[in-house]
Amino acid sequence: MSTATVTHTAGASAHGEAPILSLVEITKKFPGVIALNKVSLDVRAGEVHALLGENGAGKSTLMKVLAGKHIPNGGQILLEGEEKVFENPKQAKQSGIVLIHQEQSLVPEMSVAENIYLGSLPKKWGNRVDWKTLHRDSTAILDRLKCSFSSKDLVSDLSIAKKQMVEIARALVFTPKIVVFDEPTASLTDHEKPVLYEIINTLRDQGVGIVYISHRMDEIFHLSQRISVLRDGEYNGTVNTADTNEDEVTKLMIGRSLELDHASKPKDFGENMLELRGLTVDGVFEDVSFSVRKGEIVGMYGLVGAGRSEVAETIFGLRKISSGEMLLDGKAEHIHSTHDAVAEGIALVPEDRKDQGLILGMNCRDNMTLAGLETVSSNGFMKPAAEKLVYDKYQQAMKIKTPSWRQKVGNLSGGNQQKIVIGKWLHTHPKLLILDEPTRGIDVGSKAEIHALIKDLAKTGYAVLVISSEMPEVLGVSNRIVAMYDGKVTAEFDGDEVSEDALVQAITGQYVTSGDASADRPVT
């Protein structure tokens, strides 16, 4: 099953202890799919065990089996050497297995303390809530996590990162033995992450076994002691983090190595497809000017909140322009609605696939044709055969993995969902393709595929604007980079000649014009 040369328990002596948790040959079948095929995994007390795999490799399914959400078709779960059968999440929780979700499950209109102890509020006589104990205990947990907010704060007032802290605090009520983190940093900013790392390390030092799922290699190498890899529902080996490197792990994950190729960027571009002249939306961003040419990929780089997504939304007709103008294909355009934008050939792959990009309850085909119904209908009536052709075309071109076009999009993995969104827009044959964080939460394999796809699109003449917070992504795909800080464009760079330092300075507002950097052309 595994072609890797990695031994399964290479590091048994490193910590020298029996595993606190063993998953033995877990098998889980869904109609038509074997999601897990005899997958085994050991987790020791006091280690951070990273679980890696492409989207669809079975990580989430495995963790759902562990947490009692799925009942496996075969295999054993051994917790501290004892066989456990979890028929529901409650049993798993009571045994000390806690899952920190990607999606948050807090009650927004309640206080932090009430959320932490939800379902097990301390009581006084007469079944009244013992507020004093509640806040004392909650504060103790929050202190342990070094949280800066009070147990009396309303959850709805907290940032996403702080909400996640509450979610973790909730797990600590039960003195967990195993804590599973599923993509915990997906919604955190760079300076919020160290806090999370510290919490994870604290838990680890207290002897908790930690399973850490993430697509980000830097995090995994920073945090974990061992790495296990799943591929296509099968166990593909475990390595000691100290004895390996990113290339090796990537190879284990996808069976080949990846390289971002910076070389193959074309140099000749066509006319300006999009030109912004002093575009301003009051209170959001001001005086934004840049252009995107046919066949060119322009990267828009900046921190969260710098105004990048807002610029994209404005181009797409979701925000009202206060001043400045926008030229599309050389003509001044007044776009008042998304309908206008689509009609003018603008496409936006939004930041949040699930909330903005897809109708999760609809099937794959219907989502794919949604933005271009005119082309697959006549006189208002749909032509199912034409729709199927469109779907097949993009499904094959982008290698979208799904059992059938009838599959609901909500059941697909993140990478495949993103491909459906991109396919939806390619079908409208846009002049300008805007991608907002196109690979957020997507595994390295699909990520590389999407990067290659973006480059191919540019080669065929699309003007592409890519918004990203990831520097390697911006550097890897862009011909030109527009840096934003605090609602303003601070600099524009040639994608091949820019230095990482200059980019970081530009997006943190410290950019200083320097005469020697001829390629770097400050705008303001």
Partner 1 sequence: MIDMKRFMSGGMGIQPIWIFVIVITIFFSVMSDYFLSVGNLTNILVQTSTIGLIALGMTYVMINGNIDLSVGATLGLAASLSVGLQDYGLTVAVLVAIATGVALGALNGLLVWKTGVNAFIVTLGAMIGVRGLIFVYTEEQSFYASNFAFSDFGASSIGPIPVLAIIFLLCTLAMHLVLRRTGHGRNTFAVGGNPEAALDAGIRIGRNMMINFMIVGFFAALAGVLLATQMGAATPNLGRDYELWTITAVVLGGTKLTGGYGSITGTLGGVLAIGVLRNGMNMMQVPAFYVLVILGVILVTVLIIDQQISVKSSKGVQV
How many Å apart are CA 418 and CA 118, to the nearest integer?
35
Q: Is the Cβ of residue 140 or residue 359 nearer to partner 1 in the bound state?
A: 359
218-252 burial, b for 16+ CB within 10 Å, e for fewer? ebbbebbbbbbbbbbbbbbbbbebeebeeebbbeb
Q: Minimum distance from CB of 397 to partner 1 (Å)?
A: 20
Say whether 328 sits in a helix, a strand or coil.
strand
How many Å apart are CA 298 and CA 110, to the nearest integer?
44
Instruction: Report 419-478 residues binding partner 1 (CB under 8 A).
Output: 424
Q: Does 338 bind partner 1 (CB under 8 A)?
A: yes
Draw the binding track, 216-255, toward partner 1 (x: CB under 8 A; -: no contact): -----------------x----------------------
Binding test (CB under 8 A) with partner 1, winner from 371, 434, 457, 484: 371
The CA R_g of the chain, rounded to the nearest whole Å, is 25
Return the closest-CA partner of residue 439 out of 410, 473, 464, 477. 473
Q: Does 61 bind partner 1 (CB under 8 A)?
A: yes
Q: Is 153 exposed, middle or buried (0-12, 13-18, 19+ CB in 10 A)?
A: middle
How many Å apart are CA 495 and CA 456, to the nearest integer?
17
Q: Minimum distance from CB of 373 to partner 1 (Å)?
A: 4
Q: Is the Cβ of residue 65 or residue 166 nearer to partner 1 in the bound state?
A: 65
Instruction: Report 289-318 residues binding partner 1 (CB under 8 A).
Output: 316, 318
Q: Is the Cβ of residue 293 or residue 424 nearer to partner 1 in the bound state?
A: 424
Geometric angle at alpha carbon 114, from 112 and 119, rounded to 5°: 135
Binding test (CB under 8 A) with partner 1, winner from 5, 13, 16, 31: 31
How many Å apart are CA 286 and CA 278, to the nearest integer?
7
Binding test (CB under 8 A) with partner 1, winner from 48, 348, 434, 466: 348
> Judged by CB under 8 A, which stretch of 106-114, 261-269, 356-364, 515-523 contacts partner 1?
356-364
In sequence order, the 6+-apart residues with CB closer than 8 A to the CB of 22 are: 40, 41, 42, 43, 76, 77, 78
Q: Does 360 bind partner 1 (CB under 8 A)?
A: yes
Q: Does 495 bind partner 1 (CB under 8 A)?
A: no
What phi and psi, each to the nearest 5 degrees, are found at residue 502?
Answer: -60, -40
Return the closest-CA partner of residue 293 out of 422, 426, 427, 431. 431
Return the closest-CA partner of residue 63 out of 23, 34, 95. 23
- Work out whether the CA dihedral 260, 265, 271, 276 comes out positive or negative: positive
Draw the binding track, 254-273, toward partner 1 (x: CB under 8 A; -: no contact): --------------------
How many Å apart are CA 212 and CA 439, to the nearest integer?
20
- Count of residues near partner 1 by CB under 8 A: 45
> Judged by CB under 8 A, which stretch of 56-64, 76-84, 101-109, 462-470 contacts partner 1?
56-64
Q: Minimum distance from CB of 481 to partner 1 (Å)?
A: 25
Draw the binding track, 499-518, toward partner 1 (x: CB under 8 A; -: no contact): --------------------
Q: Does 121 bind partner 1 (CB under 8 A)?
A: no
In sequence order, the 6+-apart residues with CB closer than 8 A to the CB of 110 are: 118, 154, 155
Binding test (CB under 8 A) with partner 1, winner from 103, 205, 268, 355: 355
Q: How far is CA 181 from CA 192, 385, 519, in A?
A: 16, 44, 43
Binding test (CB under 8 A) with partner 1, winner from 406, 429, 459, 521: 406
Q: Minimum distance from CB of 25 to partner 1 (Å)?
A: 19
| 200 and 172 Cβ atoms separated by less than 8 Å | no
Q: Does 407 bind partner 1 (CB under 8 A)?
A: yes
Q: Is the Cβ of residue 259 or residue 355 nearer to partner 1 in the bound state?
A: 355
Binding test (CB under 8 A) with partner 1, winner from 370, 386, 453, 471: 370
Q: Minimum distance from CB of 409 to partner 1 (Å)?
A: 10
> Judged by CB under 8 A, which stretch of 241-249, 254-262, 337-345, 448-456 contacts partner 1?
337-345
How many Å apart are CA 228 and CA 252, to the nearest integer?
9
**CB-CB neighbours of 489 under 10 Å:** 26
Q: Minimum distance from CB of 319 to partner 1 (Å)?
A: 13
Structure tokens at 21: 């948790």
> Judged by CB under 8 A, which stretch of 12-20, 52-60, 94-102, 260-268 contacts partner 1?
52-60
Structure tokens at 490: 């601070």
Q: List contacts with partner 1 (CB under 8 A).
A: 30-33, 35, 56, 58, 60-61, 233, 316, 318, 337-339, 341-343, 348, 350, 355-363, 366, 370-371, 373-374, 377, 380-382, 403, 406-408, 411, 413, 424
